[in-house]
Amino acid sequence: MNSRKHLLQPILDSYRESGGINHVDRSNLPSKNAVATLSEDLLHLLFPGFFSDEAVSSEKLPGAAQEIIDKIADQLDSAITVSLREANTSDDELRKKAHDISGRFFAGIPDIRALLKTDVEAAYAGDPAARSLEEIVLAYPGLEAVAIQRVAHLLHRENVPLLPRMMTEWAHSRTGIDIHPGAMIGSHFFIDHGTGVVIGETCVIGNRVKLYHGVTLGARSFQKDEKGEILRGTKRHPEVEDDVVIYPNGIILGGDTVIGARSTIGANVFLMKSIPPDTLLVRGEQVQTRLDKKGRKSAPVTVQLSEDEIDFMI
């Protein structure tokens, strides 16, 4: 075998020159594999019996729940401790802080489950293709993404670095739905289909909101300081009030943008301004080209969307 020692030095040189993407001589970081395991175990805790290989009876539920709580608690304490270690605090203080955060995290699980129950009900009420609540829990990517975001939000509120974002990115990689753990989401939230949905960190979503695939609730622009660096921690993403429906590929941007209650945003709408409650917003005329496949003749076709047409079949 030919020696590859000549390959080493250029790479070592790059480590010195591009130090910002190294993590050497510092504390370890949360493991992506460990976060994936934690997230999967959290789904077991949130939806008992749904993700188990064997059926769980009522008699066995307390024991099974205690087992998964103990497992998650150990994982969570470790992951939080590692995440907090960047704060240069002693190990004993970090472990105690992690333990306290874990305690508050588990105390919030009943409320999270109550919210998830409303999410399942909203999906069943809002999708005629759903045949059962079980189908929604097992097969709807939107519910999985929201479930992980809701528990990650508990950790985000505790100012735990790294871990909440890693959890929601784990869900993102599985579902194609990108919800930042900082987003605040009300009850009865339903993402239909889901692929390509993006919900930013400072987004506030009310109750009984329904989104379709491709919806973006994003930032319009980034404020910068006197040094030209992005200001962090500012309100950058929209607020969506109660009972709003946003159809596929709707793009709504800006921290000052508010979608008023009971409004409907049609497909492919691009919006950077607030709209009042009870607004129906659809795209205007669209000029399309119709071709004769044989003769390749073309003619412009103007399409005007009516109010009824936005309630299209998916």
Q: Are 257 and 224 in contact (CB under 8 A)?
A: no
> What spatial distance separates the first Cα and last Cα of the chain, rounded to whole Å?
58
* Res. 29 pLDDT band, cuts 50 70 90: confident
* Cβ-based neighbours of 192, under 8 Å, separated by 6 or more: 123, 126, 127, 142, 210, 211, 212, 213, 314
Q: Are 234 and 219 in contact (CB under 8 A)?
A: no
For 152, how many CA atoms within 13 A lie in the half-sphere containing its CB?
A: 32
Asked if pLDDT for residue 64 goes beyond 90, the answer is no
Please list the residues that pair with 210 across neighbouring strands: 190, 245
Per-residue pLDDT tens digits for 74-113: 999 999 998 887 556 777 888 899 999 999 999 999 999 9
State the pLDDT at residue 259: 97
Asked if pLDDT for residue 180 goes beyond 70, the answer is yes
Neighbouring CB atoms inside 10 A of 5's CB total 7
- What is the average per-residue pLDDT within 38-60? 86
In the chain, which ranges are continuous DSSP H helix?
Answer: 8-17, 32-46, 61-84, 91-107, 109-126, 133-139, 141-157, 163-175
- What is the average per-residue pLDDT within 148-173? 97
Structural Rg of the chain based on CA atoms: 24
Helix (H, G, I), strand (E, B) or coil at 259: strand
Question: Rounded CA gap, 241 and 203, in Å?
Answer: 11
Dig out the tokens for 206 from the structure: 């009310």
Domain spans of the chain? 26-176
Cα torsion through 85, 87, 90, 94, rounded to 10: -60
Q: What is the pTM of this model?
A: 0.84
Question: Rounded CA gap, 79 and 162, in Å?
Answer: 9
Which of the pair, 283 or 206, is modelled with greater confidence? 206
Percent of the chain clearing pLDDT 70 (strictly above)? 84
Question: Rounded CA gap, 182 and 143, in Å?
Answer: 17
Hey, which CATH number is domain 26-176, 1.10.3130.10, 1.10.3720.10, 3.30.70.580, 1.10.10.60? 1.10.3130.10
Question: Rounded CA gap, 211 and 214, in Å?
Answer: 9
Q: Are 182 and 220 in contact (CB under 8 A)?
A: no
From the list 176, 192, 73, 71, the residue with the least C-alpha distance to 130 is 192
